[in-house]
Structure 1
Amino acid sequence: MRNFLPGLVIAPFLLSGLFIDPIMGDSVMQSIKGKKAVMIIACNNFRDEELLQPKEVLEKNGVTVTVASSSLKESTGMLGAKVKPEILFTDIHASDYDAVIFVGGSGANEYWDNPIAHKIANDAHTAKKIVGAICIAPVTLAKAGLLKSKKATTYSSTVKEIQSAGANYTGADVERDGNIITASGPAAAQKFGETIAKALSQ
């Protein structure tokens, strides 16, 4: 249980099968070591795997990961993981990071119509950073205007939301179009992290 935030408590039932070493070569480790990512979670009811698994993949490959939220109070995941965010999402400067990642879960809709979240996503995209979103979080990117005419995926309940914003929904577990990476939900969390790691190496 390495490199997790101080104060992070993982629900025991999450431990089984969670820590899977990414299938990455030494070249990826070398090329992304020292890079930085920020993962934005809901103040409550983020989806545990969608934070923890990509975070583990990135950190094992040398990326420094910062967790941000709309509150600095301890946040509880849908399955019981507890995380104390390090920064407020309103303090994020996209230029400080190589990847900006929106984590899903039922609480993630708090960012859907948030103009600051939209600005962060757009600033990161304009600066050619990696912009990621998983589960229902791709709706935030869609409403920020980033998914228009882009291949993207999302959780099944939010397909119409991204399509109405012009996204080309593919139904894939993980979809990459340029520097935008989207994923369908918790079952895709590991692959989502690996895809971001690969993108950071390119």
Structure 2
Amino acid sequence: MQTKVLFMASNGFEQDELFVPLERLRAAGCLVKVAAPSREPIRATVLDDPGEWIMPDLTIDEAEATDWDALLLPGGLINPDHLRTNGTAVALVRAFVAAGKAVGAICHGPWLLIEADAVRGKRVTGWRSICTDLRNAGGLVDDGPVVSDGKLVTAVGPADSAAFADALLEAARLRKA
């Protein structure tokens, strides 16, 4: 049975944190789709510079946690800051967590986990500047590059994108077993 992974992003996602896992998961045989606030193309950043564009497959409003095995939240500074103020995006994260599905967030992506109250008591990591936010939300911050706690997978940044994708796939497949 094919593992289905939903990526949720908006403009300003960190390029390697979406494209590297997307390619890696597709190469592993996963069905991967991107949800965004609208069906308009969204653009990556590479640190502070403009990056590649990607066309979303569906809107966040159209996405249902029941249709997917895992959720991936790329970072970048702008993307998760924008999405954590979107009530539908936060509700979707909560639905994945409540259903016991695999959820992965990298770099600043854990801001969405914080907004969804999904880090309390969990081992997590993220970009250095959000570690205090993770602690304040009840997370147990680990300095590893990729940290898995049950179905929750977090990672520090772009250099960890491949290992992050592998860990999320492992969490998704364990759920299906």
Match of 1:96 in 2: 67
Q: Deviations over 1:13-64 (max 9, x none)?
A: xxxxxxxxxxxxxxxxxxxx5121110112x111110001111111111110
Match of 1:5 in 2: none
Q: Does 1:174 align with 2:146?
A: yes
| Count of matched residue positions in the alignment of Structure 1 and Structure 2 | 169
The residue identity in structure 2 corresponding to 1:154 is: G
What are the equivalent positions in structure 2 for 1:61-140 lying under 5 Å apart? Answer: 61-79=28-46, 80-108=51-79, 109-140=81-112
Moved over 4 A (4+): none
> Greater share of strand residues, 1 or 2?
2
Q: Deviations over 1:177-198 (max 9, x none)?
A: 1111111110110100011122
Counterpart pick for 2:158 among 167, 186, 189: 186
Cα drift, residue 201 of structure 1: 2.5
Q: Does 1:46 align with 2:13?
A: yes
Cα drift, residue 129 of structure 1: 0.9
Give 5+ residue unaligned stretches, structure 2.
none
Identity %: 28
Query: Aligned to 2:2, what secondary structure does the other structure show?
Result: coil
Q: Deviations over 1:160-179 (max 9, x none)?
A: 11111111111211111111
Q: Deviations over 1:78-123 (max 9, x none)?
A: 1311101111112210000000111111222112233222211111
Which stretch of the first structure deviates more once superposed, 111-120 or 169-178?
Answer: 111-120
The residue identity in structure 1 corresponding to 2:40 is: K
Q: Deviations over 1:116-157 (max 9, x none)?
A: 222111111121110111110101101211000100001111
Match of 2:128 in 1: 156
The residue identity in structure 2 corresponding to 1:38 is: L
Aligned-residue RMSD, C-alpha: 1.2
For residues 135 and 92 of structure 1, the distance between their equivalents in structure 2, rounded to whole angstroms, comes to 23
**What's the TM-score once normalised by structure 1's chain length?**
0.80
Larger Rg: 1
Q: Does 1:57 align with 2:28?
A: no
Contact 1:151 1:168 in 2 (8 A): yes
